[in-house]
Amino acid sequence: MITKRTQVGIIGAGPAGLMLGRLLMEQGISSVILETKTRDYVESRIRAGVLENGTVELLKDAKADYRLKKEGQTHNGLEFSINGQRSRIDLNHFSKGKSVIVYGQTEITIDLISTHIGSGGEIIFNADNVLPNKFDTSKPNITYQHNNINYQLDCDFIAGCDGFHGVSRLQIPIKDQTIFERKYPYAWLGILAEAPPPSNELIYATHERGFALFSMRPPSRSRSYLQCSPDLDLNKWPDTRIWDELQTRLGSKTESPVCEGKILAKGVTPMRSFVVEPLRYGHLFLAGDAAHIVPPTGAKGLNLAMSDIQYLSDAFLNFYKNNSTAGIDNYSKKALSRIWKTERFSWWMTSVLHKIENESSFDNRIRLTELEYLLSSEAAMSSLAENYVGLPF
């Protein structure tokens, strides 16, 4: 067994773990990031695409915004399509000058990894059997194997940034966790295609046949999603069927039809809302998807991971620079307050835009009326815009 030492041991090299490592390093705090997958795998995962201003600011602090500045697209508005009828919400107007940036999570991951390694940061990919230990004491450690050698990483704190299926949350005794969960009876079939999107802004569409979303990956690709059954068989969805369904849900009489092109990736994402409380157990801190999941309809998963990391890195900074435990003591409460507001918004966007099987005529009318109200009320549009561009970090 080889023993190593760092100040903060980070489990997981997704956006949360990478951002934490970067911010700590910029403040002179050491960390080691342990990741179970290969670098290639991590750098090719396709996920979120819409960034709030707080996320963009953090990428700047992490010195990982050099490509984002050139390639990110500013979006000042978004569209809703209700049974083929399209309306725009001016995010900029209704959020007092704010906007969102469209730039893929894949690119963010690539940029964070290259900046971190380029500045001498340590990320161990392909780490096996990663396990946080003794975090109920002030001398925790993480054990792992790499290239068949056993290691023990001693640290002051452990950050569990290992996503929903990670190991960190599972090590906290069940009796000390409170779990809040909702599963939705639908999923998203997502595609990335070599084809321009139907509009230069995102379109959230609801239709008698279900939800669809038209997004993009700058400079030239479209990223689109269809509400589907969680057990959808991808073999029964050849490309032509996907394109036809996207066109139908956007509306056949629409001003800008769906452009077809080569489909580069296809996948099915289940939908769930999930929160564990608290986010701290002794010297182990959970952040990002390890602690909470939102359904992707509000484009919040990645952004929420980033606000957790801002609070957590500030807390560690306060500990190391000011010898104060106030930040780490308050981390869970502070992060959960923003998490629950974002859970609410993501649940609302999801519920109002998706059609459930056997939806009653009453529920259908209420849902459509909610959308009609949204698109005709300045107060409702302001509320949507405030949440969509992101509540303050």
Residues of this chain that interact with ligand PHB (CB under 6 A) are 48-50, 202, 213, 215, 223, 296-299
- What is the b/e burial string over 35-61, where b = at least 16 CB atoms within 10 angstroms of the residue's CB? bbeebeebbeebbbbbbbbbbbebbee
The CA distance from 289 to 219, in Å, is 28
Q: Which does 297 bind (CB under 5 to 8 A by kind): ligand RFL, ligand PHB, none?
A: ligand PHB
Q: Give the number of residues written for the chain.
A: 393
Residue numbers annotated as active site: 75, 204, 296, 300, 388
The two beta strands, 149-154 and 2-5, are parallel
Beta pairing partners, 275: 180, 292
Q: Which does 42 bind (CB under 5 to 8 A by kind): ligand PHB, ligand RFL, none?
A: ligand RFL
- Nearer residue to ligand PHB within complex by CB, 11 or 374: 374
Residues 338 and 193: their CA atoms lie apart, in Å, by 34
| Binding partner selected for residue 327 from ligand PHB, ligand RFL, none, CB under the kind-specific 5 to 8 Å limit | none
Q: Report the residue from 299, 339, 349, 384 that binds ligand RFL according to the rule CB under 6 A.
A: 299
Phi, psi (rounded to 5 degrees) for 389: -75, -15
Contacts to ligand RFL from residues 41-60, by CB under 6 A: 42, 47-48
What DSSP character marks residue 137?
S
Lookup: tokens for 207: 């239709």
What gap in Å lies between CA 135 and CA 281, rounded to an integer? 7
AA letter at 164: F
16 scored as a contact of ligand RFL (CB under 6 A): yes
In angstroms, give the least distance from the CB of 343 to ligand RFL: 12
Residue from 20, 23, 34, 381 in contact with ligand RFL (CB under 6 A): 34
Q: Would you say 104 or 166 has its CB closer to ligand PHB? A: 104
Strand (E) or helix (H) holding 186: strand 178-194
Decide whether 140 or 296 has the Cβ nearer to ligand RFL: 296
- Nearest-CB residue for ligand PHB: 49
**To which H or E segment does residue 15 belong?**
helix 15-26
Judged by beta carbon, residue 300 or residue 367, the one nearer ligand PHB is 300
Q: Are strands 292-293 and 178-194 parallel, antiparallel or unpaired?
A: unpaired
User: Which residues neighbour 369 within 8 Å (Cβ) at sequence distance 6 or greater?
Assistant: none
Neighbours of 243 (CB within 10 A): 19
In the complex, minimum distance from the CB of residue 48 to ligand PHB, in angstroms, rounded to a whole number: 6
Say how far apart CA 229 and CA 214 lie, in whole Å.
19
**Residue 261 backbone phi and psi in degrees, to 5:** -170, 180
Position 160 contacts ligand RFL (CB under 6 A): no
CB of 129 to ligand RFL, least distance (A): 8
The encoded tokens of residue 371 equal 């959308």
Q: Identify residues 262-281 at the interface with ligand RFL (CB under 6 A).
A: 269
Q: How far is the CB of 291 from ligand PHB (least distance, A)?
A: 20
Mask: binding to ligand RFL, 161-180, rule CB under 6 A, as x and -? xxx--xx-------------
Of 8, 10, 13, 246, the one binding ligand RFL (CB under 6 A) is 13
Q: Which residues bind ligand RFL (CB under 6 A)?
A: 11-17, 34-37, 42, 47-48, 105, 127, 130, 161-163, 166-167, 269, 288-289, 296, 299-302, 305
